[in-house]
Amino acid sequence: MISTVTNLLINLSKAIDGILSMSNELEELFNSIFDNKVSESWQKVAYPSLKPLGSWILDFLKRLQFMQDWIDNGAPPSFWISGFYFTQSFFTGVLQNFARKVNNINKLLNVSSKFQLILYALISYLFLLIRIKSI
């Protein structure tokens, strides 16, 4: 994702300077930047988002910093769940690590069912808040 964004921006800069010819993809990127939208070529390789370009870039940089901090300093004490591209795989990994550590399937199933219950309650609460705000 980073290489796609970087390469397209470098090529767009070269096309604006006249070094490269302006392809349809680069023209679409230019128009997207002008309109403060995330380019289709970036959306193909990025996480789903409805944010305008400025907010998307800030969010992208925060995600990169989160991952870099994790690499540099080890696992953080808490995780930015919405910062992951595929949160289900993260939760699966957490449960697998817990199962290896505990080495007891009954405890794992108990934790998994409690987690699902908490997640369901949280989602229900968020939907309730959305309904109240729309009234």
Residue-wise pLDDT tens digits, 11-47: 999 999 999 999 999 999 999 999 999 999 999 988 8
Say if CB 39 and CB 33 are below 8 A apart: yes
Confidence band, pLDDT 50/70/90 cuts, at residue 134: low
What is the pLDDT at residue 96? 75
Examine the pLDDT at 108 and tell me if it is beyond 60.
no
Task: Please list, in sequence order, all residues whose beta carbon lies within 8 angstroms of the beta carbon of residue 29, skipping any fewer than 6 positions away.
Answer: 8, 9, 12, 39, 41, 42
The model carries a pTM of: 0.64
Domain ranges of the chain: 1-78, 86-135
CA distance 13 to 26: 9
What is the pLDDT at residue 71? 92
Closest CA to 49 of 85, 12, 10: 85
The DSSP-derived string for 28-55 is HHHHHHHTT---HHHHTTS------HHH
CA distance 121 to 54: 33
Residue 20 DSSP symbol: S
Helices and strands (DSSP H and E) totals, the chain: 6, 0
Handedness of CA 91, 96, 101, 102 (dihedral sign): positive
